[in-house]
Amino acid sequence: MAVATANKASNGKPGPKHNIEAMRQAFYDRIAKKDMAPLWKVMKSVVTKEPVTRCQPHVWHYSDVKSLVLESGGLITAEEAERRVLILENPAMRGESKATNTLFAGIQMIMPGEVAPAHRHVSSAIRFVLDGKGAYTAVEGEKSIMSRGDFVITANWAPHDHGNTSDQPMLWLDVLDFPAVNFYETSFAEQFDEPTQVTTRENGDSLNLYGSGVLPDGSWGRNYTPVINYTYERTRPIVARMLAAGEIDKRHGARVHYANPVTGGPVLPTMGAWLAMFPKGFKGEPYRATDGTIFVCVEGEGTTNVDGKDLDWGPNDVFVVPPWKRYAHKTAKQAVLFSISDRPAQKALGIWREG
């Protein structure tokens, strides 16, 4: 009522528009002193018609990454660093330790004879092995020997350490959900007194117990997979068979998702992963979804066009596709891509879409 009255001249007709604008600004200034703000001023930027992302499409070429990671081995030990990792920073989010808004990505290396000491944290983590053979990761009492292409799970609060008993450096991609965890301000971490944990289960126990079509009766009630290592040796032949049988999605190739064998759902509540094989000369149809995705080339070479930007990739290259950006894969030769995203978390919240 006061605004309407103030906006009229003495003759009852509306006064100059600048009068009401000045009164509004004075009102905004007053409420700002009380730590308040008008929603109507920002509505269109906070409730957007479609997703808005700062994340940019980008590729990290292994030819650049490997030499720099190896160089870091002469600068700091795995024990000193706790984890010797070079972060893959999205160019649009420098200094934030993010590949996407919800996912961290980095390349970790452990040298022969080294141990990365045991710890645990609320953030879930995965390893996708890029280079080397014979190093291990120990998770919740199982020591798993790793080889190239293996997909290794470290769930929320699971104790884990790494060691390298081989004669060559071991490099792998780490992806963690700690940007999402930190958004909720729920991060906890703990170091252990001993650098390595006692392992009571043999290498491959979890896969043999839970990945063979039978399950130990009543032995698993948690919301993540009991399998520690989804080996490439076991997974690759599956997508190869699909490709040979012509089971090829026009967007994603011959693709499987890594599943929790107890529930059939994703391996982790916050992150899901896929492995896809593409025939030579594949030209994928465009696709987009709200989950930003990190890809790794395991075999072959190709190009992924993201909203008009070409990302060329080859073995061990890592690239990121931002949320809700149209992308299409094209392969010059037969190729295999591993991918991981926050789709399970989005689905649990009921906010995931594809188009």
pLDDT in single tens digits along all 355 residues of the chain = 444 444 555 555 555 666 999 999 999 999 999 999 999 999 999 999 999 999 999 999 999 999 999 999 999 988 889 899 999 999 999 999 999 999 999 999 999 999 998 999 999 999 999 999 999 999 998 999 999 999 999 999 999 999 999 999 999 999 999 999 999 899 888 888 888 878 877 788 888 788 877 788 877 888 999 999 999 999 999 999 999 999 999 999 999 999 999 999 999 999 999 999 999 999 999 999 999 999 999 999 999 999 999 999 999 999 999 999 999 999 999 999 999 999 999 999 999 999 9
Nearest in space to 142 (alpha carbons), one of 84, 215, 210: 210
* CB distance 126 to 153 below 8 Å: yes
For the sheet containing 160-164, what is the strand order?
A: 142-147, 133-139, 160-164, 115-121, 189-191
pTM of the predicted protein model: 0.89
Question: Please, what sign has the CA dihedral across residues 346, 348, 349, 350?
Answer: positive
Second-level CATH architecture of 58-349: Sandwich (2.60)
- Report the pLDDT value the prediction gives residue 217, as an integer from 0 to 100: 82
Per-domain residue ranges of the chain:
2-46, 58-349
pLDDT at position 212 is 76
Q: In angstroms, rounded to a whole number, what is the distance separating the alpha carbons of residues 311 and 299?
A: 16
- pLDDT of the residue at 5: 46
**Which residues, in sequence order, are bridge partners of residue 125?**
154, 176
What is the pLDDT, as a whole number, of residue 2? 46
